[in-house]
Amino acid sequence: MTYKQATYDEPLIFELGKPGRRGHLPPKTDVPPREITIPSNMKRKELPQLPEMHEGEVVRHYLHLSQMNYCVDTGIYPLGSCTMKYNPKINEALARNEKMCYIHPYQPEETVQGILELIYNLQKILSELAGLPYCTLQPAAGAAGEYLGLNLIRAYHHDRGDYDRIDIITPDSSHGTNPASTVMNGFNIIEIESNKDGQVDLEALKAVVSEKTAGFMITNPNTLGIFESQIEEIAKIIHEAGGLLYYDGANFNAIVGMIRPGEMGFDVLHFNLHKTFSTPHGGGGPGAGAVCCSERLSSYLPVPVVEFDAENNRHFLNYDIPKTVGKTHGYYGNIAIALRGYAYICALGAEGLIETSKQAVLNANYVMRKLEEIDGLVLKFNRELPRKHECVLDATPLKHEIGVGAMDIAKMLISRGYHAPTVLFPLIVHEALMIEPTENENKESLDRYIEVFKEEIAKAREDPQYAHDAPYNTAVGRVDDAWATRNLILSWKMIKELEKKGQWPPKWPEDH
Ligand SMILES: Cc1ncc(COP(=O)(O)O)c(C=O)c1O
């Protein structure tokens, strides 16, 4: 493997400025200044250290930075599990509307009826899609929804005096956040193996359920894109053992309007509104992990619950939930995300939502069948089973043959100006390439992607070193991800500190 130092030559904005340079010189004002008294302890001791630049330089700098980035507006972004969909600009415009931006969560309820109505309606729609009648929009991300859902499960068991239920069972195909939320919540995680079809092994499940089982956590379709067809049987096993079923709805875009988790036997679920229903997802941006649940978990929902008083035709915030697990997020949650989701759902309507799911599934299966034709890539687990919204190919044969693995393929695609798939996840596929084209791409776009895939693997077969040295023509070369994670350098100031100590640029180990 050839790691390269980052060839990041874009100067920082602080390095571009020169003292005395100005953007604009506003004319002198003839309005007398207003006396404002700032307490001395709140006054700056020194002027802010801002770079002095002219406007053109600033615009060029930021435009260039944005051009160094790849985004869903630039091209296909088939990042499996992370679901980067195109987000209609009208939703962005709505979220930025001043009527939305300038409302304050401390405003009296009478003055925010519009947004309360929107929250209430969205909760109802999500409940309908989930097949679970209660909903909160508070959690700020999928993982936060998982954490809340697990809290509800715990509250339910504790309320019944069932304090020994501490086990959450999850398949080995589960998303990393599932075991993480479980452990953070104080539960004990029990992982069970998938069977040869990439689904939950029922015998393995039966072997671990006990009077300690608090719940079972799964995403369906799972992270292999395979629909867990035995889900009703699984629900029966868990319910008979006294546990509850948690549905990780991050993959909901595969099933919107076609099947409802409540009817599969689930008790609680989170949506990733920021994946399924508009909003750019990624880069740690804001999200919304709305949680829906059944009647038996509803009395533990976080406060405030947005309700409708039909007699007085007004929406209100209900804080009077005696058994609530408490607060999950300040105020009403990440409301701008909810607004985008609501706009997306209303624009598509029931039929449109179903159509998007069908298209997402069709696209994933099309890509899968084309890519598995490439010598060196295989579809692990039962290849007869259709996949849903995403598929996972395994590059292990290619790796054994010529030493080129999933990471090399990802970097070669980046060289060609395409976003890479998710790699090396799920963990049960060794050289995983996890592809989720989404419903946004048309056949021509998918064909181009498939073609580039084929071309790059053909080049790697001629010269494996070409693959190891990729990516080419990018601002940053092949970096050592593990080193970077263990040595977090997150800001310009940290670089400057390291420079002073003579520790920048970093010296990487010779031999990786
Ligand atoms: C299957 C699955 N579950 C949970 C999550 C966690 O969602 P979030 O990133 O919003 O916390 C993701 C994230 O992409 C996911 O793909």
Secondary structure (DSSP) of 385-445:
SPPSS-EEEE-HHHHHHHS--HHHHHHHHHHTT-PPPEES-STTSTTEEEE---TT--HHH
What is residue 4's predicted lDDT score, i.e. its pLDDT?
55
* Distance, CA of 293 to CA of 268 (rounded, Å): 4
* Strand partners for 269: 247, 292
Q: Cα dist. 17→7, 26, 48, 51, 494 in Å?
A: 22, 20, 14, 5, 20
Q: Three-state SS string across 24-60, please?
A: CCCCCCCCCCCCCCCCHHHCCCCCCCCCCCCHHHHHH
Instruction: Give the chain's residues under pLDDT 70.
Output: 1-9, 282-285, 508-512
Tokens of 97: 């509307």
What dotted CATH number matches 91-346? 3.40.640.10
What is residue 512's predicted lDDT score, i.e. its pLDDT?
47
Atom of ligand 1 nearest to the CA of 82: 14
* Distance, CA of 231 to CA of 245 (rounded, Å): 10
Task: Please answer whether residues 356 and 347 qualify as being in contact, where contact means their C-beta atoms are separated by less than 8 angstroms.
Answer: no
Task: Please answer whether residues 352 and 359 qualify as being in contact, where contact means their C-beta atoms are separated by less than 8 angstroms.
Answer: no
- DSSP element (H, E) containing 308: strand 305-309
Task: Please answer whether residues 212 and 166 qualify as being in contact, where contact means their C-beta atoms are separated by less than 8 angstroms.
Answer: yes
What is residue 2's predicted lDDT score, i.e. its pLDDT?
55
Question: 68 C-alpha to center of ligand 1: Å?
Answer: 26
251 lines ligand 1 (CB under 6 A): yes
Closest protein CA for atom 8 of ligand 1 = 142
* Distance, CA of 86 to CA of 440 (rounded, Å): 6
Phi then psi for 409, rounded to 5 degrees?
A: -65, -45
What is residue 462's predicted lDDT score, i.e. its pLDDT?
98
219 lines ligand 1 (CB under 6 A): yes
* Side chain identity, residue 279: T
Phi then psi for 315, rounded to 5 degrees?
A: -95, 150
Is-above-0.75 flag for pTM?
yes
Q: Cα dist. 241→216, 217, 510 in Å?
A: 11, 15, 54
C-alpha 478: how far from its chain's center? Answer: 24
Total residue length of the chain: 512
Atom of ligand 1 nearest to the CA of 248: 3
Question: 464 C-alpha to center of ligand 1: Å?
Answer: 34
Tokens of 115: 């947004």
143 lines ligand 1 (CB under 6 A): yes
Closest protein CA for atom 7 of ligand 1 = 142
Question: 218 C-alpha to center of ligand 1: Å?
Answer: 12
Question: 402 C-alpha to center of ligand 1: Å?
Answer: 33
